Chain A
Amino acid sequence: MKIRTIICSIVISILAVSCYDNQEILPLSKDIIEPSSRLVLVDTLGVGVSTVILDSIPTSGKELILAGIYNDPRLGKIISKSYFQVGFPKTLPAKHDVFDSISLLIAYNSYSYGDTTQLQKLGVNRLTDRLQLKEQTAFYNTTSLDYDHTSLGELIFYPRPSSKEKIEIELNKDFGQEIFDYLNQAQDDEFKEDEFNNFFRGLILVPDEMIGNSINGYMVNDTSPLIKLYSHATGDELISKQTTLPLINKNLQFNQITCDWSNCPAFIGHKQKNEIPASETGNVSFINAGLGMYTKFSFPSMQSIVEFENSVLIRAILYIRPALGANVKLPDSKNFGIYQTAKYNVLEFQLLNPDGSAVEPTLSVDALYNEKTWYSLDITDNLISDLSDRYIDPAKALSVTFSASYISNSVDQLLIAGTENKLTKPTLELLFLFYDLN
């Protein structure tokens, strides 16, 4: 090989190997290099807090009886009544059997709200309205049907929500005899089930307003609630018999949950479209499942952030502080539903994560000082999509309520701190990246 070739090869190689290798990044101890972008945390945007009571929430077909009374110190007397219907038995008593007694049996489902150490009185009344849907698609927490105010039976008891034993409420013997006779009659006639259901239209569990301070849950399934007719056969031996009237129209069983607002008159005559500011309800707002109450967070000055030039929203987190800190049991994050609400407090849509799962707040508990007891709610995606058209509808708000499955299945409540206390007021933390286009 000629020397020229060798030298030229070397030269080309020199050009080719020019490279740079610096495995580690040097952290500068001072900002001698000027960053052209900066991150700014804005947490001074005002957050409005108010309570909205939904005009109604569907409670039928939830397979849960909620019955009882609870005196809420901030709201008033909360009463839950439950409607259901039992139907024609599979086997009828024998023709010449003799009626003995009749009882309603219901099984606890372990749910409870309030003070179960206090005696409770539940009455059973007979519906005079039929348990039938007309135009509506469901029965609601606000639905009330007519019933015979003469009680068929009552029970005063200490609720034991975790007990496996059913409670048994003995009903009026005349009523039992009437049912028994109707069934005996039915053996002779060509029986029509619908006729029986019209004759016996259903029952309502009515808590006594004076006795009790808890609302308890009872199962709704094939064995609860049901009616037992006790009878015996006539003959040489006394043979006891039972006839069971099982639950029918399970999807029509519902709970009527009301409050007299005696401790919070601001809610009297409420409408969903009129939110009640926390300042009018003792600097707290409410999230209550059975009563359909949610807390609305509004951001009246949000439009001002749209005006930020050359910036991008990186993160938006709403910190919501429970009014009572961690001194009460705080609902799990998964029990919440976060909605965007529009004008007249209409729930527009539920906030979802990119994977389709529901956006949930994250609970942080600071048991010692409560200063960092909060639910933090990442609303970045929602806000970014709002900001994309550079206009924020002032009527738009975020509503924090219990999830759809939870709201109809409990009377749980969470108190949210209002804006009056600087330490506990809700804060919206916005992290912006400001960039320099030069």
Chain B
Amino acid sequence: MTLTEHIKAYFKAWLRGIILGAIIFFPAKASAQYSSNSTYSFFGIGEITGARPIRSEAMGGVSLALSSEYNINNINPASLNKFDSTTFLFTAGINGYLSSFKSGKISKTGTDFNFNHLAFGFPIKKWWATAAGIAPFSSVGYDVKLSIPIEGSASTLETQFQGSGGVTQFYLLNTFHPLKPLSVGINVSYLMGAVKHTELDKLTEFDYPDVTKTDTRYFRNFYYKLGLQFNQNIGNDRLSIGLTFNPPQKLKIRHDVEILIPNVDTLNTKPDNKDIFEMPLAIGAGIGYNINSIFELAFDYGFDRWSTVSNSLRRASLTDSYHYNFGLEFTPKETLIRSYLSLIHYRAGAYYEKKYIQLRGNEIFDRGITIGAGLPIGRQGSTIDIAIGLGRLGTLNQGLVQETYGSIKIGFNFHDYWFIKRRFD
């Protein structure tokens, strides 16, 4: 097959896929949106999700020092250094969460399914590989209510707060590795998306229709990230080091506010308050060690200097965020048993993260453990990756919300050999 024929074949497959998918899942589409299902996503740009490859998700989120022929690691733009000259990778993932939210003594549960990522990648030259994809950058999703005292009165007003939307990242990764063992990369992204916050004042008990305030912020701009990865073979082992760097950047905001007062008026304004959202300087460093292609251990540390930027977060304040991730992967291969089980990649990990918001003097932590597996399909390196996690976000201190969640993330990595005509198709 020529390149053109391959592209045609993919287009056809896509078309068929779209039709089939639409038929099966059209009814579900009506309510489709991605969200984070976290009260803390009320603030700022929402919860910064940083969608990772599912392989990383199963390994406690480590990613900076990882590289693979069968995965697109969008976290470190210098990681596409394992692509074979014939590699074509296509990958997609979904997340599912079952969460229990607790505030004071009351808890509620919620489920949340959303899209994790969609990407494809291939080498351009021997020393240059590229990947393009789409992933949620941040997401907002909450549905909470508050009883607010009425000034001058003993009664209260019930207000419901709902949030939805998020910022989507369209990214283009380019890894250059002319001088092995070093590779450098750049991720040029375009971020865009709308975050919608709705505040519903329930006035029915005062014989008045509910008043709704809808605050929509449209974020957009280019966003850059630089990466570096170093892979050095030591006998049958391999030592990897990964570094990433985000310079401080600014997102543009368009801000619309609508207040709907039934029977009276609908007020629309475009507040002229600060129309940018600052993203801070961020660095990440990771180290990995691969033993004989059977064990891979990795550790990541990341730090975002949120304290130096000046976004207005209303009741919350900004604080530097950091994260630690630790993960390992075990692939038995033929060394142990000669069966399918020996081909599976077994993964586990843990993470500990401090979020960028501080509320009532409380720092918000997210921590959890993960396990997962990479299940090979066929003989060409395609896999289905599964990651299962259990975590806890937030605290019950000072009336804050604690979220305990279980997650399942599934990724499809479709690995194909371009430029090779297969005998059976």
Interface of A with B (CB < 8 Å)?
A: 2-5, 7-43, 312, 314-315, 378, 380, 384, 431, 433, 435-438
**Cross-chain contact of B115 among A15, A24, A29, A378 (Cβ < 8 A):** A15
CB-defined contacts of B143 to chain A, threshold 8 Å: 22, 25-26
Chain A proximity of B268: nearest CB distance (Å): 9
A3:B118 contact, CB within 8 angstroms: no
Residue B405 lies at the interface, judged by CB distance under 8 Å to chain A: no
A40:B111 contact, CB within 8 angstroms: no
CB-defined contacts of A436 to chain B, threshold 8 Å: 213
With both beta carbons as reference points, the residue of chain B lying nearest to A30 in the complex is identified as B399
Interface of B with A (CB < 8 Å)?
A: 9-10, 13-14, 16-18, 20-22, 24-26, 28-29, 31-35, 37, 39, 42, 90, 92-94, 101, 103-115, 118, 141, 143-148, 150-153, 157, 159-161, 164, 199, 201, 203, 206-208, 211, 213, 215, 257, 259, 261, 264-265, 267, 269, 271, 273, 314-315, 359-360, 378, 382, 398-401, 412, 414, 425
B31:A20 contact, CB within 8 angstroms: yes
CB-defined contacts of B13 to chain A, threshold 8 Å: 2, 4-5, 7-8
Q: A14-B115, A16-B26, A29-B106 are known contacts. Are A433 and B201 too (CB-CB below 8 A)?
A: yes
B151:A41 contact, CB within 8 angstroms: yes
A42:B115 contact, CB within 8 angstroms: no
Q: A8-B14, A438-B273 are known contacts. Are A17 and B113 too (CB-CB below 8 A)?
A: yes
B151:A40 contact, CB within 8 angstroms: yes
A-B contacts, 5 of them at CB < 8 A, read A7-B412, A21-B111, A22-B37, A25-B143, A438-B273
Q: A27-B145, A312-B264 are known contacts. Are A39 and B150 too (CB-CB below 8 A)?
A: yes
How far is A9 from B12 in the complex, measured between Cα atoms in Å?
12
Chain A proximity of B144: nearest CB distance (Å): 5
Q: Which of B35, B106, B201, B378 has its CB near the most chain A CB atoms (within 10 A)?
A: B201
**Cross-chain contact of B118 among A11, A16, A37, A433 (Cβ < 8 A):** A11
Q: A5-B16, A41-B151 are known contacts. Are A20 and B26 too (CB-CB below 8 A)?
A: no
Q: A26-B144, A33-B161, A35-B146 are known contacts. Are A437 and B271 too (CB-CB below 8 A)?
A: yes
CB-defined contacts of A7 to chain B, threshold 8 Å: 13, 17, 90, 382, 412, 414
Q: A32-B359, A34-B314, A384-B264 are known contacts. Are A14 and B93 too (CB-CB below 8 A)?
A: yes
Chain A proximity of B70: nearest CB distance (Å): 14
How far is A35 from B259 in the complex, measured between Cα atoms in Å?
13
How far is A26 from B35 in the complex, measured between Cα atoms in Å?
16
CB-defined contacts of A20 to chain B, threshold 8 Å: 31, 33-35, 37, 110-114, 141, 164
A15:B21 contact, CB within 8 angstroms: yes
- The 6 A-B pairs at the shortest CB distance, nearest first, are namely A30-B399, A8-B17, A12-B21, A29-B104, A22-B110, A16-B25
B39:A19 contact, CB within 8 angstroms: no
How far is A437 from B255 in the complex, measured between Cα atoms in Å?
11
A37:B201 contact, CB within 8 angstroms: yes
A11:B92 contact, CB within 8 angstroms: yes
A33:B10 contact, CB within 8 angstroms: no
How far is A3 from B422 in the complex, measured between Cα atoms in Å?
13
Chain A proximity of B6: nearest CB distance (Å): 11
CB-defined contacts of A18 to chain B, threshold 8 Å: 32-34, 94, 113-115
Chain A proximity of B287: nearest CB distance (Å): 32
Q: A34-B314, A315-B207 are known contacts. Are A14 and B144 too (CB-CB below 8 A)?
A: no
How far is A82 from B414 in the complex, measured between Cα atoms in Å?
104
Q: Which of B34, B152, B207, B261 has its CB near the most chain A CB atoms (within 10 A)?
A: B152
**Cross-chain contact of B412 among A10, A32, A43 (Cβ < 8 A):** A10
Chain B proximity of A309: nearest CB distance (Å): 12
B152:A36 contact, CB within 8 angstroms: no
Q: A27-B146, A28-B145 are known contacts. Are A17 and B103 too (CB-CB below 8 A)?
A: no
B378:A5 contact, CB within 8 angstroms: no
B39:A28 contact, CB within 8 angstroms: yes
B110:A30 contact, CB within 8 angstroms: no
CB-defined contacts of B160 to chain A, threshold 8 Å: 25
With both beta carbons as reference points, the residue of chain A lying nearest to B378 in the complex is identified as A3
CB-defined contacts of B111 to chain A, threshold 8 Å: 20-22
A23:B110 contact, CB within 8 angstroms: yes
CB-defined contacts of A380 to chain B, threshold 8 Å: 207-208
**Cross-chain contact of B315 among A26, A34, A41 (Cβ < 8 A):** A34
With both beta carbons as reference points, the residue of chain A lying nearest to B147 in the complex is identified as A27
Chain B proximity of A428: nearest CB distance (Å): 13
B199:A29 contact, CB within 8 angstroms: no
New contact pairs (15) apart from A19-B28, A36-B199, CB-CB < 8 Å: A2-B13, A4-B9, A8-B21, A11-B412, A17-B94, A20-B37, A25-B160, A26-B103, A30-B104, A35-B146, A38-B157, A312-B211, A315-B206, A431-B206, A435-B211
CB-defined contacts of A25 to chain B, threshold 8 Å: 108, 143-145, 160
How far is A238 from B148 in the complex, measured between Cα atoms in Å?
91
CB-defined contacts of B378 to chain A, threshold 8 Å: 3
B199:A37 contact, CB within 8 angstroms: yes
B106:A27 contact, CB within 8 angstroms: yes
Chain B proximity of A28: nearest CB distance (Å): 5
